[in-house]
Amino acid sequence: MLRIPCPHCGARDEVEFIYRGDATVTRPGPDGDVGAFHDYLYLRRNPRGWQVEWWQHNGGCRTFLKVLRHTVTHEVRAVATATETLEVPGA
């Protein structure tokens, strides 16, 4: 069970959140070719280590959050709002 410190609501249990995937992929612009959109849609890094992820606080304030989580230890090191930037350590 993860405890995720929501910047609005405080620490809450994982069951209140929905995992929404890798937060580092960015959508190609309107002039992006089919290959760029293919990569955006299907390709993910699946790292062993730190990853910035989207989690939506569905059971609380309903906002989308960026969470820096370790995929092996599940340690949550940082949480930010959607417009902020989280750096992946050592990546």
Partner 1 sequence: MSAPEPVHPLAGVARGRHGAAGDAPLRVSFPARDIVQVMVRRGQDAALAAAMRTAFGIDAPGPGHTASGSGVTAIWIQPGQWLLTAPRTTEGALAVRAAEAFSTCAAVADQSHGRTTIAVSGASAREALSRGCRIDLHPRAFGPGRAASTPIAQIGCLVHQTDAAPSFELTVFSTLAEPFLHWLLEAGAPFGVEIA
Contact footprint for partner 1 (CB under 8 A): 8-10, 12-13, 15-16, 59-63
As measured in angstroms, the least distance from the Cβ of 40 to partner 1 is 27
- Judged by beta carbon, residue 9 or residue 80, the one nearer partner 1 is 9
Contact indicator for 7, 81 with CB cutoff of 8 Å: yes
Exposure of 67 in the CB half-sphere (CA atoms within 13 A) = 27
As measured in angstroms, the least distance from the Cβ of 8 to partner 1 is 5
- Judged by beta carbon, residue 32 or residue 59, the one nearer partner 1 is 59
Report residue 60: phi and psi, to 5°: -130, -105
